[in-house]
Amino acid sequence: MDEAELPECPVCLQAYDAVSAIPRVLTCGHTTCEACLKQLPNPFPNTIRCTVCTLLVKFPNSPSSLPKNLDLLHLSSVLQHLHPQGNKKVISPSSPQANGKDQSVLFPSALKSWSYDFYCKWKKWVLPGDCISIEKVGSESDGGVVCGEVLKYFQSDYMMGCVLREKEHVGLVRVGAFVESEEDSRIFKASYESRILTVLYRMEEEERNKLGIILNATLRVSNVGKVFGFWCNEDDKCVYMVCEKIASPNLVKCVLKKKEDKDERLSSDEISALAMLCMEICEILSRLHSEGLVIGFLRVSCFGFNDLGRVYVDLGEVLNTGRRLHMAVRKELSDLEISLKDTFLDNDIMFISPEMLLNCFVKEGFKFDWGKSRYEVGCASDVWSLACLLVRLIVGSTFVEEMEHFLHFVVNAIKEEKGCDYSGLCMRWSEKIAVLLEGRLASEYASLQDILYRCLGFDPGNRPVITDLWKCLRELVVKPQFDTGLMLKQEGKNMNDRADVELRVDEDVVQGLSRGHVKCTEMKGHLDCITGLAIGGGFLFSSSYDKIVHVWSLQDFSLVHSFKGHEHRVTAVVFVDGEQPLCISGDNENVICIWKATIPFPEEPVRKLHEKKDWRYSGIHAMAISGTEYLYTGSGDKLVKAWSLQDYTLSCAMSGHKSVVSSLMVCDGVLYSGSWDGTVRLWSLSDHSPLTLLAEDKPGNVGSVLSLSMDHHLLFVGHENGSIKIWHNDVLMKSTQTHKGAVFSVSKKGKWLFSGGWDRTISLQEISEDVDGMEVTPVGSIACNSTITALLYWQGKLFVGQADTTIKVYHLQNPFLQIKENVYKYSVASCIVDDTVTMSDAWDHEPE
């Protein structure tokens, strides 16, 4: 067995002892050494932020008054006695563990070692064990691709529209293996669910995050094969990611019906067909880029056609193709050329960018003389692959021959290990491809020849962005004189700058407002004033004085369902994203209704809670949640109450306010409560003790707090007198008179601050910080026809609740293009994810 590691401080990483690194236990239960506790900053008096869970907890003046962790001290002394040198296990970068490839889990290493939050996050992706069987396992030459068959109907409560039907074929991508020794299995047998969660939990966090990005992207990006979840095979104990499998004709034969070897030019109809096909692929890739996903290669079999004839990406095929690529690269040098030819140059040719191929070799331990620079895989890699696919469709089988010559030179350069001018090699190859294109395309398509030549360049930074390629293809379909009403914005940044170029009108609703590209959609269904908005599970939930909570679709803003269980005015609503998604609403008679928030929606609440009523004060005015642990309510009795979301009991009541608690907000381990007494109080989420009080020192200048919004370290407070105050910790940074009347709602997103209230306007301000302080710049306002009672900003859209029963949605207009009798709609997500995942890194998790 491996030697046990010494317990160490999570800050300085020094092994605990009784002298220099004394372990002290914080009130949240986590341990940090005494020396580090003395140096950690104190954001508020007598508080400290735990280095493990990041909660604000009570902290005495001297850390030596905290209790010692005697168990860790004893364990550390025992291990140091057994292993005096205290050597720590080091994983070299070239080891399988460091590369994330050995994902076998030996059980039992720990029984249910994951947290409840981890369980809630991944449990929804676990598929029943009896709903799938393995139908076919491919040979080693084709990457060992596994296909499955659905045994019985299954519909996910979490993913709308994701249904597994009986006899349907699915793709299976292996993500790990669960191993039990015979001796352990005789004593204890892990449950099916535990096996899947254990494999996921034992993954490196980076690899698990990549899987999470892929799962979420498949829900948000259309025309991409869906991932249904994870399934564990009882026979081989392997955990598979279950993907939608697309059955469609060969892409090449479908597009080009003529013989590929004919040395004649393509007709205008064939060029238009190719252009329309690749335009759709451009859009799909751009949407994936916006979700942080880069494929890095393309293969003909990765694409198909759905029932409407639109291009579809088979995600399972993409992941399995990446597995096959890595297997080919791992071959010995003597078999390297044969293995790569079998992988790249079969009937289903693979187009992999130079930087992708060379980086794959580096990950497998090969060394290169990169010369001046080494290029990373990014969005430009997909541009290279897409250009190769288009050239393949135009040129035909001659292109495959040139690819074989190119691959031969690359393999020889790797074998010699003497360094190679890869840039010059790629340039000579692309010049040959340009000659082939000239023979197949007429002179009127010179612009297409030019952009394809530039797309095949070695330096990703010099390749055209995907918008340029899309626009060039579009001009082949729609003549400029018929091109009206479509506006594209180009951002010429490459992936090395962590940015992308997308086919879109604008980044979000803010930029769209200044250019007149914003559309306002009205959602009508309530009969009285809107009091609250919440988003979750793909739906918008709205509460109203009409005693009803409406559920709206975020796709077309239509009314989906109505929760009717309150007998009095509903004043607040929140969404809980747990194992069982919940919608929770409260009314002005202290009744809390808890609803199941998944399809099919229930007619009756799951549970009803009743706050204790006081004849002087009544009504719930505000609600907030802390993950899946607590529901917090602010009421007319001046109290903030914490309700357990596990057993729905009242855990505690926090007192301190001198009037109605009108607003609540949870952020970074702190509960913020605003009151009509003009103050904001901060409470610790760990033990619900008071942390500090935010109030102005000026007497007689009290304005009731009506709304709160939190963004990292800044707190935005809307008051009854029309002012908005900005706090940093316990320091008032800025106070602006924004509205003429009460500010009922404040919403901060990025650098933009939205606010609305009694004066029937939505104010937009830009918040900027620098070394000299904070600046609040008024940008503009939106005039409304009624009082603004609720604001919610989500994915570039601004949702506005009004007193006249209407909900308005301000969002970007989607560009559209009409070609002959068919209407094609091009729309791309309008935000860029910072952490970009290359799909080639996200599949290879089984043991070598």
DSSP 413-466: HHHH-S---HHHHHHHHHHHHHHHHHHHS-GGGHHHHHHHHHHT-S-GGGSPPH
Sign of CA dihedral 548, 553, 558, 560: negative
Sheet holding 539-544, edge to edge: 530-536, 539-544, 549-553, 559-563
> What is the pLDDT confidence band of residue 162, given thresholds at 50, 70 and 90?
low
Give the SS3 label for residue 166.
coil
State mean pLDDT over 483-499. 38
The length of the chain, given as a count of residues = 848
State mean pLDDT over 691-719. 83
Q: Which two tokens stand for residue 108?
A: 């039992």
Sheet holding 591-596, edge to edge: 570-576, 582-587, 591-596, 607-610
Q: Find tokens 């962590």 and name the residue.
A: 498
Whether the full predicted model's pTM is greater than 0.75, yes or no, is no
As a whole number, the mean pLDDT across the chain is 76
**pLDDT value of residue 824:** 29
**pLDDT value of residue 92:** 29
More confident residue, 367 or 95: 367
State mean pLDDT over 397-414. 74
- 717 and 662 in contact (C-beta within 8 Å)? no
State mean pLDDT over 662-667. 93
Which of 125-129, 179-183, 333-337, 427-431 shows the lowest mean pLDDT across its residues? Answer: 333-337
**pLDDT value of residue 252:** 52
Sign of CA dihedral 118, 123, 125, 129: positive
Report whether pLDDT(417) > 80: no
State mean pLDDT over 294-307. 76
State mean pLDDT over 302-313. 75
Which of 434-443, 540-549, 604-613 shows the lowest mean pLDDT across its residues? Answer: 434-443
> What is the pLDDT confidence band of residue 827, given thresholds at 50, 70 and 90?
very low
Identity of the highest mean pLDDT range in 48-62, 205-219, 320-334, 599-613: 599-613
Q: Give the tens place of pLDDT for each residue, 623-648.
A: 999 988 999 999 988 999 999 999 89
The percent of residues above 90 in pLDDT, for the chain, comes to 20
Report whether pLDDT(137) > 90: no
Q: Give the tens place of pLDDT for each residue, 759-770.
A: 999 998 888 877
More confident residue, 792 or 435: 792
* Strand partners for 788: 802
Given the DSSP bridges, would you call strands 570-576 and 743-749 parallel, antiparallel or unpaired? unpaired
- 754 and 764 in contact (C-beta within 8 Å)? yes
Domains and CATH numbers, the chain: 1-90 (3.30.40.10), 104-244 (3.30.200.20), 251-505+822-841 (1.10.510.10), 526-746 (2.130.10.10)
What separation, in Å, do the N-terminal and C-terminal C-alpha atoms of the chain show? 21
Interacting residues of 214 by C-beta distance below 8 A, sequence separation 6+ = 227, 293, 315, 837, 839, 842
Give the SS3 label for residue 125.
coil
Identity of the highest mean pLDDT range in 81-90, 217-226, 388-397, 723-732: 723-732
More confident residue, 522 or 181: 522
More confident residue, 126 or 335: 126
Report whether pLDDT(455) > 70: yes
Given the DSSP bridges, would you call strands 104-107 and 169-180 parallel, antiparallel or unpaired? parallel
Report whether pLDDT(157) > 60: no
Report whether pLDDT(707) > 80: yes
Quick one: DSSP state of residue 815?
Answer: P
Report whether pLDDT(3) > 60: no
DSSP 356-406: HHHHHHHHTT-----TT--PPP-HHHHHHHHHHHHHHHHH-HHHHHHHHHH
Measured over all CA atoms, what is the biggest interatomic distance in the chain, rounded to whole angstroms?
Answer: 92
